[in-house]
């Protein structure tokens, strides 16, 4: 290479860097070096090291194990005294490679014990105005005593075992350490006072109807084994009441005794249907198993009303068996109506079921079981075929809570029969959500105590897909809307939250108890992040395959966040470390805009701008070879003729073409007239794809998506040149509001000078 050419390259480099230097009035100060803070750096430091239990691909490893806890339980509900008692035998299998010296059992009802520390961690302030109910509860009543009374803990031979209760956890000291592969059988006898969840909050308890009858939705009601695994050892985070549960899988045999006039349903297959059903109920049940298009009533409104007038002193025992479930729950009342329909699932079918008092009708009769059925179809398509025999939705005011095969859901008509739209869609959405929890976390069994988003976020994302499906299946249910009015999922619905003061909020990767703004942070944000990933970053095909891979890999197992993140990348060949970092590990937000558009024309005459640059560097004009120069319309070098110039008439181009391009290829050379330099800005932290829409002078438009990696070396600004025959008159980013951009005032060029007063107010109030 000749020395002039080397010099020339240096100048060229200088010229191309010139626009940056121009903006700096002061000479640059020497900056300190820095740690690698690039947003596209891999998540090696944040992620746990892959090992034989959990692989780098995000799949369970060759040494993956999980513990098993099998239960045999006799439960009795005392409706008159609102008490529940039980005797349970737990068989615990140590499948780990570790020797266990003790076992930990969870006593979640102790969150409501008289000496519970949960109220003590909530700061309180005097409120200037109080609801009488809140006032009475806060200042005038003794705390409700709803903690466990443990009557005995014994081994299989009936010998008392030593145990220690630490609030919501109980350590069982075994006579001998439990070696790998061994089982330990022990029993616990217990009882507790059931809480009125309308007065004392709770995911479980009873509500009292106007006629004095109660509806019981009973869960976390028995001492439950804690999880022991390769990630945490024994799960040792107490139940404070907020973040939910971590539970091992097992098989259950449960006998539940209730007043003889109660209707009851629970996790598992009913074993003694002929004993507890009337002849009519049996006949209707047969019918329901063949009804795939509409629910069949097993207990009618008239029958429920009739039962509500009595209070049976006789008892009835309902017997269930459930296989491979992580938890157990049931609902019972003499007020319940009951309907069911069949849902095709794989080669067979499962039952969609609802339990509700007459107060919930007609809303529940119309939509509950249909919503259950529709949810099972969508979730099974997105993950795996529903493996349990049924899914039950129970009407329980103020509730929205999930257990294997059964969940509690709010939403009833007003007393005068009016059905408010907010209540109707709230009810359908909560049913879809809670039934969806059968998949996350009941089957894909993540640790809810640690990571709320892993079940709530994944479930709320799939709920959005299921809601849209429900709307398509039942247009009558959603009329006058054309699409189901989903609250969470669409990108623009998270903007208000993301536009809030992020210094006051926590990243998604935060333990549930410590999350600020729980609903938006643990449900809305992760669900939206996944929806954006699916619709905008990855595309449905790649996303759905990876999401399904994750669900199937971790079906009936215990995944961690890394298992999810890694599988999504492994199964799609999309490096998403930057996406997980920004959306899940930080509180950054999205704001991308169009900063400027410059238009250039072409000349072979050296411009004043370039002359000045080379003069500064002591280079003679004659040393510079023939070049193509770019000129803006407002520059001194601009001449009107440049606008209509044919590129093949520009001397250096003509020379190059004649020397290098065969004659037959020359006609296909393009001849752009306009050279637009578009500069995008990114005031927001999160790098996202730039979804650009260019509109030309003739009204046509073109859309180009620049992958997020365009920001990898320039976190604040990036430019792209568009050469075209037509002039660009408008540039817009994210025209369909797909990225949760929190400030759209910079999304369009030319800037709309006059924002309406309302728009301005909205943008200001968001900030």
Residues of this chain, 97-116, that bind Zn ion according to CB under 5 A: none
Comparing CB distances to Zn ion, the nearer of 295 and 400 is 400
The CB-of-160 to Zn ion minimum distance in angstroms stands at: 39
- Cα distance between residue 286 and residue 274, in whole Å: 12
Q: Backbone phi, then psi, for 491, in 5-degree steps?
A: -55, -40
Residues of this chain, 551-610, that bind Zn ion according to CB under 5 A: none
- Cα distance between residue 478 and residue 422, in whole Å: 12
Burial class (CB in 10 A: 0-12, 13-18, 19+), 80: exposed
The CB-of-79 to Zn ion minimum distance in angstroms stands at: 29
- Residues 452-491 as x/- pattern, contact with Zn ion by CB under 5 A: ----x-----------------------------------
H or E element in which residue 430 lies? helix 421-436
Look at strands 169-178 and 162-166 and give their pairing: antiparallel
- Residues 428-457 as x/- pattern, contact with Zn ion by CB under 5 A: ----------------------------x-
Binding residues for Zn ion, total number by CB under 5 A: 1
Comparing CB distances to Zn ion, the nearer of 50 and 519 is 519
Cross-strand partners of 92: 69, 184
Q: Which of 593, 589, 590 is nearest to 503 (CA)?
A: 589
The CB-of-407 to Zn ion minimum distance in angstroms stands at: 9
CB atoms within 10 A of CB 242: 18
The CB-of-522 to Zn ion minimum distance in angstroms stands at: 9
- Written as six digits, the tokens of 121 are 């961690």
- Cα distance between residue 438 and residue 425, in whole Å: 21
Comparing CB distances to Zn ion, the nearer of 456 and 743 is 456
The CB-of-401 to Zn ion minimum distance in angstroms stands at: 8
Instruction: Based on DSSP, count helices (H) and strands (E) in the chain, helices before strands.
Output: 18, 31
The CB-of-400 to Zn ion minimum distance in angstroms stands at: 7
The CB-of-298 to Zn ion minimum distance in angstroms stands at: 27
The CB-of-244 to Zn ion minimum distance in angstroms stands at: 8
The CB-of-456 to Zn ion minimum distance in angstroms stands at: 5
Comparing CB distances to Zn ion, the nearer of 432 and 592 is 432
Strands of 94-197, DSSP E: 100-106, 149-155, 162-166, 169-178, 183-193
DSSP letter for 523, please: I
Comparing CB distances to Zn ion, the nearer of 526 and 593 is 526
Q: Are 687 and 639 in contact (CB under 8 A)?
A: no
Question: Which residue do the tokens 């408008």 mark?
Answer: 730
Comparing CB distances to Zn ion, the nearer of 458 and 571 is 458
Comparing CB distances to Zn ion, the nearer of 285 and 410 is 410
H or E element in which residue 543 lies? helix 540-553
Look at strands 348-356 and 390-395 and give their pairing: parallel
Comparing CB distances to Zn ion, the nearer of 519 and 735 is 519
Question: Which residue do the tokens 């995911």 mark?
Answer: 203
- Cα distance between residue 706 and residue 720, in whole Å: 10
Using CA atoms in the order 328, 333, 336, 339, what is the torsion angle rounded to 10 degrees? 20
Burial class (CB in 10 A: 0-12, 13-18, 19+), 451: buried
Residue nearest to Zn ion (CB): 456
Comparing CB distances to Zn ion, the nearer of 167 and 487 is 487
Comparing CB distances to Zn ion, the nearer of 456 and 609 is 456
Cis peptide before 441 (omega within 30 of 0): yes
The CB-of-25 to Zn ion minimum distance in angstroms stands at: 55
| Site residues (vs Zn ion, CB under 5 A) | 456
């Amino acid at each position: 290479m000749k020395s002039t050419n080397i010099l020339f390259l240096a100048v060229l480099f200088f010229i191309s860097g010139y626009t940056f230097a121009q903006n700096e009035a002061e000479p640059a100060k020497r900056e300190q070096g820095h740690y690698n803070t690039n947003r596209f750096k891999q998540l090696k430091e944040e992620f746990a090291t892959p090992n034989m239990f959990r692989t780098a691909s995000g799949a369970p490893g060759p040494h993956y194990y999980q513990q098993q806890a099998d239960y045999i339980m006799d439960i009795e509900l005392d409706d008159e005294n609102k008490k529940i008692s039980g005797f349970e035998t737990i068989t615990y299998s140590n499948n780990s490679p570790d020797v266990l010296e003790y076992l930990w059992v969870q006593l979640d009802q102790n969150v409501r014990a008289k000496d519970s520390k949960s109220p003590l961690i909530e700061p309180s302030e005097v409120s200037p105005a109080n609801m009488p109910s809140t006032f009475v509860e806060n200042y005038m009543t003794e705390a409700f005593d709803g903690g466990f009374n443990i009557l005995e803990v014994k081994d299989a031979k009936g010998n008392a075992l030593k145990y220690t209760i630490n609030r919501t956890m109980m350590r069982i000291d075994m006579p001998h350490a439990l070696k790998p592969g061994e089982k330990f059988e022990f029993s616990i006898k217990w009882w507790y006072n059931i809480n009125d969840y309308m007065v004392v909050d709770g995911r479980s308890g009873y509500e009292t109807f106007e006629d004095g009858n109660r509806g019981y939705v009973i869960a976390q009601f028995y001492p439950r084994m804690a999880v022991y695994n390769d990630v945490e050892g024994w799960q040792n985070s107490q139940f404070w009441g907020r973040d939910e549960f971590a539970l091992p899988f097992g098989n259950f045999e449960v006998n539940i005794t209730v007043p003889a006039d109660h209707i009851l349903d629970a996790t598992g297959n009913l074993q003694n249907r002929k004993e507890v059903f009337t002849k009519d109920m049996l006949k209707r049940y047969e019918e329901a198993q063949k009804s795939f298009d509409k629910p069949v009533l097993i207990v009618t409104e008239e029958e429920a009303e009739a039962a509500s007038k009595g209070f049976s002193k006789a008892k009835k025992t309902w017997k269930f068996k459930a296989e491979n479930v992580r938890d157990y729950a049931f609902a019972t009342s003499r007020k319940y109506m009951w309907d069911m329909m069949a849902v095709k699932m794989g080669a067979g079918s499962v039952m969609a079921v609802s339990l509700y008092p007459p107060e919930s009708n007609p809303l529940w009769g119309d939509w509950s079981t249909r919503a259950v059925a529709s949810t099972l179809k969508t979730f099974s398509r997105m993950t795996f075929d529903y493996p349990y025999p049924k899914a039950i939705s129970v009407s329980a005011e103020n509730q929205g809570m999930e257990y294997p095969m059964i969940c509690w859901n709010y939403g009833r008509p007003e007393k005068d029969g009016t059905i408010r739209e907010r209540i109707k869609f709230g009810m359908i959405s909560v049913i879809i959500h809670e039934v969806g929890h059968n998949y996350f976390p009941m089957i894909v069994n993540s640790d809810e105590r640690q990571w709320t988003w892993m079940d709530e976020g994944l479930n709320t994302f799939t709920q959005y897909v299921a809601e849209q499906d429900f709307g398509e299946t039942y247009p009558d249910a959603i009329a006058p809307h054309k699409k189901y009015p989903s609250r969470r999922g669409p990108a623009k619905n998270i903007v208000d939250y993301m536009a809030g003061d992020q210094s006051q909020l926590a990243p998604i990767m935060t333990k549930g108890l410590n999350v600020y703004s729980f609903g938006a942070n643990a449900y809305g944000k992760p669900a939206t992040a996944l929806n954006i990933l699916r619709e905008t970053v990855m595309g449905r095909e790649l996303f759905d395959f990876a999401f399904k891979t994750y669900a199937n890999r971790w079906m009936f197992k215990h995944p961690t966040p890394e298992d999810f993140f890694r599988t999504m990348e492994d199964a799609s060949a999309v490096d998403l470390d930057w996406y997980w970092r920004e959306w899940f590990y930080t509180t950054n937000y999205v704001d991308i805009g169009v900063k400027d558009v410059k238009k250039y024309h072409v000349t072979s005459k050296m411009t004043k701008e370039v002359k000045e640059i080379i003069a500064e560097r002591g280079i003679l004009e004659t040393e510079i070879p023939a070049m193509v120069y770019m000129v803006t319309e407002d520059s001194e070098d601009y001449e009107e003729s440049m606008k209509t110039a044919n590129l093949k008439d520009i001397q250096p181009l003509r020379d190059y073409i004649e020397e290098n391009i065969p004659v037959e290829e020359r006609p296909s050379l393009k001849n752009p007239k306009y050279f637009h330099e578009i500069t995008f800005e990114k005031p927001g932290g999160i790098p996202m794809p730039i979804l650009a829409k260019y509109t030309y002078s003739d009204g046509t438009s073109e859309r180009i998506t620049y992958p997020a990696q365009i920001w990898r070396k320039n976190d604040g600004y990036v430019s792209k040149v568009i050469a075209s025959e037509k002039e660009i008159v408008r540039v817009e980013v994210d025209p369909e509001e797909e990225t949760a951009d929190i400030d759209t005032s910079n999304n369009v060029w030319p800037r709309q000078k006059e924002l309406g007063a309302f728009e301005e107010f909205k943008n200001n109030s968001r900030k």
